[in-house]
């Protein structure tokens, strides 16, 4: 008898935020390859369209939706759109959207502090709230948040980002406890990857060397190497894991 594929996402429907680029795009593609119908959302329409088109060209099921995660009405509309792909059910939300505004604390303006907290933390709240009513209660419901080493250990030059990502961990753990009664699991990943977000670090010789020295595996991952961990958390393989934070970062946080 063949072993059931516990990593399959066949019959599942996923909404991925910030899926026009980097890790979100790789996750959307990996979910589609695993059999899920995917709503590719991003604040920018053309990258979202490009990723959804690539998925359908490869034989997967995907549509796109323009979603700024700070916009509650847009989040409600995106959740309703995603649920149409799942026959009224939305199994998986990935709160991946992100942006940075680095500055040493003395120069960190309130606007930049609030903007980063708004996108990462309030945006994760907003999207979780929007999908709540569509999540199944049969043990296949998943909220997967994206945090960072910055949220686990702090960081220099991005107190806004570190605070937002630490908040995402608190949100993850609290939602995990609350939604367990509905058999929905809530976990977070803390990735590290070569994406547009980390381009400035990688392009700066000194900063790049300093960062690499902190990665025991001694290299940056491509987003495609990060995406399988998101498949794992979305799948039946992770059905008994909730409230956890998994660093996928070459050993940066040990």
Ligand X SMILES: NC(=O)c1ccc[n+]([C@@H]2O[C@H](COP(=O)([O-])OP(=O)(O)OC[C@H]3O[C@@H](n4cnc5c(N)ncnc54)[C@H](O)[C@@H]3O)[C@@H](O)[C@H]2O)c1
* Residues acting as catalytic residues: 161
Q: Of the ranges 2-10, 28-36, 63-71, 232-240, which one interacts with ligand X (CB under 6 A)?
A: 63-71
d(CA 204, CA 166): 26
158 close to 198: Cβ distance less than 8 angstroms: no
Give, as ranges, the residues between 206 and 235 that touch ligand X (CB under 6 A): none
Residue with tokens 């909220």: 143
Shortest reach from residue 250's CB to ligand X, in Å: 10
Nearer to ligand X, 8 or 49 (CB): 49
The answer to whether 23 contacts ligand X (rule: CB under 6 A) is yes
Q: Positive or negative CA dihedral for 82, 88, 93, 99?
A: positive
Residue range at the interface with ligand X (CB under 6 A); choices 75-83, 135-143, 173-181, 185-193: 185-193
Kindly report the number of other CB atoms within 10 A of residue 15's CB atom: 30
Residue 35 CA, chain-centre distance (Å), reads 18
The correct pick among 60, 141, 167, 191 for binding ligand X (CB under 6 A) is 191
- Secondary structure of residue 98 in the 3-state scheme: coil
Per-residue contact string for residues 129-158; x = within reach of ligand X by CB under 6 A = -----------------x-x----------
Nearest residue to 112 via CA among 120, 103, 123: 103
Task: Name the residue nearer to ligand X (CB basis): 152 or 184.
Answer: 152
Least separation in angstroms between CB 15 and ligand X:
12
CA distance 21 to 196: 8
Helix axes 159-179, 123-131, angle to 10 degrees: 20
Out of 34, 51, 83, 119, the residue judged to bind ligand X by CB under 6 A: 119
What are the DSSP E strand ranges found in 151-249? Answer: 185-191, 245-248
Strands (E), 80-224: 92-95, 142-146, 185-191
Chain position whose Cβ is nearest to ligand X: 22
Tokens (6 digits) for 143: 């909220």
Using rule CB under 6 A, residue 171 touches ligand X: no
Please select the residue that binds ligand X; options are 5, 11, 44, 200, rule is CB under 6 A.
Answer: 44
Contacting range for ligand X; rule: CB under 6 A; set: 13-21, 132-140, 210-218, 234-242 = 13-21
**Contacting residues toward ligand X, per CB under 6 A:** 17-18, 20-24, 42-44, 47, 67-70, 96-99, 119, 146, 148, 191-193, 195-198
């Amino acid at each position: 008898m063949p072993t059931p594929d516990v990593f399959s996402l066949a019959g599942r429907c996923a909404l991925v935020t910030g899926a026009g680029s980097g890790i979100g795009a790789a996750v959307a593609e990996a979910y589609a390859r695993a059999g899920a119908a995917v709503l590719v959302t991003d604040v920018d329409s053309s990258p979202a369209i490009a990723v959804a088109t690539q998925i359908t060209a490869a034989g997967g099921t995907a549509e796109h939706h323009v979603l700024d995660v700070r916009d509650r009405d847009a989040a409600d509309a995106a959740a309703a759109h995603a649920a149409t792909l799942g026959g009224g059910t939305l199994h998986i939300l990935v709160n991946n959207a992100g942006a940075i505004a680095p500055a040493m604390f003395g120069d960190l303006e309130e606007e930049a502090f609030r903007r980063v907290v708004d996108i990462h933390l309030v945006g994760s709240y907003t999207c979780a709230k929007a999908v709540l009513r569509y999540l199944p209660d049969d043990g296949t419901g998943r909220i997967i948040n994206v945090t960072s080493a910055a949220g686990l250990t702090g960081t220099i030059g991005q107190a806004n980002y570190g605070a937002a990502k630490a908040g995402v961990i608190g949100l993850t753990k609290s939602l995990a406890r609350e939604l367990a009664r509905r058999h929905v699991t809530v976990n977070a990943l803390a990735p590290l990857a070569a994406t547009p977000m980390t381009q400035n670090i990688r392009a700066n010789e000194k900063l790049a060397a300093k960062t690499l020295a902190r990665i025991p595996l001694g290299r940056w991952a491509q987003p495609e190497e990060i995406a399988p961990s998101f498949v794992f958390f979305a799948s039946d393989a992770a059905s008994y894991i909730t409230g956890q934070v998994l660093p996928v970062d070459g050993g940066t946080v040990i």
